[in-house]
Amino acid sequence: MSLIERSFRERIVLVGVVAWPRGIDEVEASLDELALLIDTAGADEVARVVQSRDAPDPATYLGRGKAEELHRLCEQVDADTVVFDEELSPAQQRNLEKLLGRTAIDRTAVILDIFAQNARTEEGRAQVELALLRYRLPRLRGRGTSLSQQAGGIGTRGPGETQLEVDRRRITRKIGKLEVELRSLEATRQTQRRSRRRGSLRSVSLVGYTNAGKSTLLNALTDADVIVENRLFATLDPRTRRLELPGGETALCSDTVGFVRKLPHQLVESFHATLEVVADSDLLVHVVDASGRDPEGAMEAVHTVLAEIGANEVPELYCFNKADLAPEAAARLVERHPGSLACSGRTGEGTDHLLAAIAEALRASDQTVELAVPYDRGDVLAALHRSGEVIEQRDAGGSLLVRARLDAPSRARFAPFTNGRRNDRFGSASPPSENGTVDDVKVPSPGKVGDEDGGAEDGGAF
């Protein structure tokens, strides 16, 4: 499914257009990032062309004269492929390939190619293949009637079904099959999430621009031993690990796919089920590379994707990573964003402060409630200690009065024991039901916390 030839390192010419509202600095920064993407995909930049226009040409993206100049440059540097910084329409791509005499692709194709290289799990490969097929479907090209098939039978005079129609129908059928497959995998993922919610464990997601150091930070916080690589999109499949917080609480921490400017909408749509782990989180730790060229721009790009997947309302904590490489830049960013902090996932510097900040942010939504727990309901008392922070417990004559700090789901869970509105049917102990619950208060049963890709975590039981 590759879009870039990898039997050798292709020679690539990069092309960008300066058109309002994008200035030259923004275009150059975007081309610098595209060069990194090209390198990650396994090719080399040999030249770069930038043109200033009121707007990209609807037929050839560049003006006709500039396209001919680009053709001459490609001949001089012996380029194999031309990569454009903005997404090309199918018509623009066809016209450019005729003019240039070589392959013309866009930034979206490069990102899809990198995802195709890095997908490892069954779900990840299916998601990437679905995105690739959705990208390719409108770009299928007819090859005339030379490859037509004669359809035997009455009423089929003339050329039969063309190869273009066969290819289009084959891709449409494959897209439908992948969508069914992903819905099945999504159902499994939803079952895993419901199991985690029953365990009353908070969820924290590490989000951020690609190569911001999220996997390194996950290793520093949880001893996850996740493989770390210094390249873009090294992590596609989210990994979830148990996170021990300073106050004794336990949370689940997920490392997610990195974001990038102009993330293809095909990928966002195909990876929507995977990205739901972000939208369902109690807290987002937004990891920013403090040593990067444009940290603020990277943060803005991440916020764009978060809004697209419906996670822009989740509480967010800024963590400026790689402070060991750029301590002054990290300090300026922390000063500019109150409530944020700086750390280094590589050296471990500042990770203690980060854990404390995560615990404090998770407690921010907690409320203190008073509960009247019968003496014969030790199971409820044990569940309270697991679900939140028990501040005080004392005898209240016939029951135990417990003051505890609980989050919203736990408050709803223990509502029958709220002091002053106790329900009679909770007055005596009841044997556990087959599904592991005691009356309506669910008591989590032992089980392993798994990776999002279905593998078991090394952490152990709830």
Domain boundaries, the chain: 11-114, 201-363, 367-449
111-125, 163-177, 194-208: which range is least confident on average? Answer: 194-208
Residues linked to residue 104 through DSSP beta bridges, in sequence order: 82
Q: Which residue has the tokens 């990032």?
A: 33
SS3 state at 317: strand
Give tens-digit pLDDT for 185-210: 777 777 766 665 555 678 899 999 98
pTM value is 0.72
The predicted structure's pLDDT at residue 449: 38
Output the CA–CA distances (angstroms, integers) from residue 57 to 96, 397, 439, in the order listed.
Answer: 11, 82, 67
State what percent of residues in the chain have pLDDT above 90.
35
How confident is the model at residue 104, as a pLDDT?
93
Is residue 414 pLDDT above 90, yes or no? Answer: no
If pLDDT is split at 50, 70 and 90, which confidence band does 339 have? Answer: very high
**300 — pLDDT class (breaks 50, 70, 90):** very high
- Give the tens place of pLDDT for each residue, 12-23: 999 999 988 888
Average pLDDT for 132-147 = 70
pLDDT of residue 153: 43
β-partners of residue 405 are 368, 389
d(CA 19, CA 27): 9
Same fold, 11-114 and 201-363: yes
> 440 pLDDT exceeds 60?
no
Answer CATH for 367-449 from 2.40.50, 2.30.30, 3.30.70, 2.40.128: 3.30.70
- Give residue 318's pLDDT: 96
- pLDDT tens digits for range 349-399: 999 999 999 998 888 767 788 899 998 888 988 888 877 778 888 888 788
Residue 367 pLDDT: 76
247, amino acid identity: G
Task: Report whether CATH 3.40.50.300 matches the domain 201-363.
Answer: yes
Average of per-residue pLDDT across 277-296: 90
Query: What pLDDT does 409 receive?
Result: 72
Instruction: List phi, psi (to 5°) of 113.
Output: -65, -40
- Position of tokens 């494959």? 174
pLDDT at 195: 63
Domain 11-114: which CATH number of 3.60.15.10, 3.40.50.11060, 3.30.300.30, 3.40.50.720: 3.40.50.11060
Which of the four pLDDT bands, split at 50, 70 and 90, describes residue 412? confident
* Alpha helices for 233-377 (secondary structure H): 265-270, 272-279, 295-308, 327-336, 351-363
CA atoms within 13 A on the CB side of 225: 3
Per-residue pLDDT of 43-91, as tens digits, reads: 999 999 999 999 889 999 999 899 999 999 999 999 999 999 999 999 9
Q: Is 195 helix (H, G, I), strand (E, B) or coil?
A: helix
Phi, psi for 366 (deg, rounded to 5): -80, 150
Question: What's the pLDDT score for residue 199?
Answer: 54
- Can you tell me the distance from the alpha carbon of 357 to that of 287, in angstroms, rounded to the nearest whole number? 14
pLDDT band per the 50, 70, 90 thresholds, residue 312: confident
**Which stretch, 121-135, 260-274, 295-309, has highest mean pLDDT?**
295-309
Q: How confident is the model at residue 234 (pLDDT cuts 50, 70, 90)?
A: low
Average pLDDT, the chain: 80
103-106, strands of its sheet edge to edge:
44-52, 11-18, 81-84, 103-106
Encoded tokens for 35: 């060069």
The CB-based long-range contact list for 261-264 (8 Å cut-off, 24+ gap) reads: 261/30, 261/33, 261/297, 261/301, 262/30, 262/86, 262/87, 262/107, 262/108, 263/111, 263/301, 263/305, 264/87, 264/108, 264/111, 264/112, 264/131, 264/135
| C-alpha closest to that of 448 among 438, 440, 437, 459 | 459
Please enumerate in sequence order all residues whose Cβ is within 8 A of that of 241, keeping only pairs 6 or more positions apart, or say none: 218, 222, 224, 252, 253, 254, 255, 449, 457, 459
Q: Stretch 253-259: mean pLDDT, rounded?
A: 86
- In this predicted structure, what is the pLDDT of residue 59? 92
pLDDT at 144: 44
